[in-house]
Amino acid sequence: MDDDRSDSDSGPAKAFLIMPIVLPLADLIGATGQTAVLAYIFGDGFSNLAYPTNPILLISLGLTVVSYPKWIRWTAKLWLWVLLVTVAFLGIVVAIHLRHSNGLTLPSIVSGLPRAFPPRT
């Protein structure tokens, strides 16, 4: 059987186990299911860079002269920036949901923004 997936592709299996728990919790706090799935996807991708049991990471580090502790120290600043960008994107998603649930539509939101180039008179 020719299967192109690696053993580290356990994202769908983890999602199958975690989503029945996460989605009701998202409903409790007023977040949409899409927001919960997006947060899971960000977290799954982010954590794959750090798990010491990730075979792709260990093989890659084994082919170089970089040890796992050195990899953690070297990528810590990058992870901080990725975490900040992830929180910003999730904040944007939640803000869009809040505006949409309050009856605002995209044209009404855009019309309320200041224009970069005012019309000529």
Average pLDDT for runs of 10 along the chain of length 121 = 50 85 87 87 81 84 89 88 90 80 56 58 62
Q: Report if pTM > 0.85.
A: no
Alpha helices by DSSP H, listed for the chain, are 11-29, 33-48, 55-62, 68-101, 106-111
**Domain locations in the chain as residue ranges:** 34-109
Contact assessment for residue 19 and residue 40, using Cβ atoms and an 8 Å cutoff? yes
